[in-house]
Amino acid sequence: MLCGSCKNKTSNERCPSKALKNLQFCGKHAKSKNPRLWANVNPVAESAVKIQKIWRGWFVRYLLDMAGPGVLKRSLCHNEEDVITSEEKVHPFNYFAFHEDGKVFWFDIKSIFQLSLDKLKPINPYTRQELSLETRKRMKECIYYREVRLLPLFYDPLYLTDSDKVLAMRWMMISQMLEESLFIDINPMFFIALNRTQLWEFTAMLRNSLLLWAKEHKNVHSRRNIYYVWAHSCWRRQTLEAATPKQVCHYLGGCLLKILKDCKQPYEVCFKILSARHSL
């Protein structure tokens, strides 16, 4: 850490010397009776606070926009309580709502997300109508935010302890994301039913396809190259490990889900995934 004093009595520049251990100043300024603090001469704290305020304000507004209509005015909502927990109020950052036939339906984000994994085409549990594509994508964006910050994703705390549920969840999410990229009616069993050899061949073809795609960019740090590295690691693990088809489906599903979540425009990746699957 640099010395916290100015160079001298007339300069406003910071002293370039390193501060002594456990002290704020270098050896020279530590001996001074009244050192001029560089932070006082160059007050940046106020500017930093303003920047933080602007950023926090924008981020809160972004989260409220993702939550949907009625987040700050619940009188607009058609239903009075959450469909699963029966709670009448939730925190705005746990709130999720959408318009349907001129009505606003609200949910706890954990409830509607877990319910959405029951079917390939998520539905509104109150009306049994399919959720719009815009609503599904907005819900996924809310879930990604919670996932990155390690916030709970499901109303059932034991959901992720069941390996069969986790396997079904991963491939259901993959199938839903394929459909959201306009590849319709892709059932999760289309992948889960593959045997050990087919899973290896599928991963190998996808890896080769991603490699050719990555070579279009010269930058080795491009996202395309990173996707190839992830797919190659998954293929190599299948090659070296004596895993069961179920175990392979687990980590292969995790790899594909990570790629699809990271990709801002997933259409090309979805196309390559289905091309590899149909090549078997």
The DSSP line for 109-170 is HHHHHHHHTTSSS-B-TTT-PBPPHHHHHHHHHHHHHHHHTT----SSTTGGG-HHHHHHHH
In-domain check, residue 211: yes
**Amino acid making up residue 174:** I
Q: Are residues 126 and 203 in the same domain?
A: no
Q: Which domain holds residue 115?
A: 66-158
pLDDT in tens, the chain (280 residues): 789 889 888 888 889 899 998 888 998 888 888 888 888 887 766 677 788 889 999 999 999 999 999 999 999 999 999 999 889 999 999 999 999 999 999 999 999 999 999 999 999 999 999 999 999 999 999 999 999 999 999 988 777 888 888 999 999 999 999 999 989 888 999 999 999 999 999 999 999 999 999 999 888 889 999 999 999 999 999 999 989 999 999 999 999 999 999 998 999 999 999 999 999 8
- Residues 37 and 120 placed together within one structural domain of the fold: no
Tokens 């109303």 belong to 155
Report residue 97: phi and psi, to 5°. -145, 165
Is the same domain home to 268 and 197? yes
**What is the reported pTM?**
0.77
Both 127 and 205 in one domain: the answer is no
The 8 Å CB, 24+ separation contacts for 14-20 are 14/38, 14/42
Give CA–CA dist 71/89, Å, rounded. 10
pLDDT of residue 137: 92
Residue 60 lies inside a defined structural domain of this protein: no
Based on the fold, state whether residues 71 and 39 are members of the same structural domain. no
Instruction: Assess if residue 173 is contained within a domain.
Output: no
- For residue 176, being part of any structural domain is answered with no
Query: Is 24 within a domain?
Result: yes
Domain ends where: 158, 177, 199?
Answer: 158
Q: Are residues 194 and 137 in the same domain?
A: no
Residue 74 in any domain: the answer is yes
Question: Domain for residue 103, yes or no?
Answer: yes
Instruction: Please name which of 217, 226, 221, 216 lies closest in space to residue 255, comparing C-alpha atoms.
Output: 226
205 and 267 housed in the same domain? yes
pLDDT at 22: 82
Q: Do 193 and 259 have their domain in common? A: yes
Q: How many CB atoms lie within 10 A of CB 116?
A: 22
How many residues can be counted in the chain?
280
Domain membership flag for residue 164:
no
Closest to 131 measured CA to CA, from 117, 147, 148: 117
Domain total for the chain? 3
Are residues 273 and 235 located together in one domain of the fold?
Answer: yes
What would the two tokens of residue 178 be?
């394929």
**10 and 70 assigned to the same domain:** no
Q: Are residues 13 and 73 in the same domain?
A: no
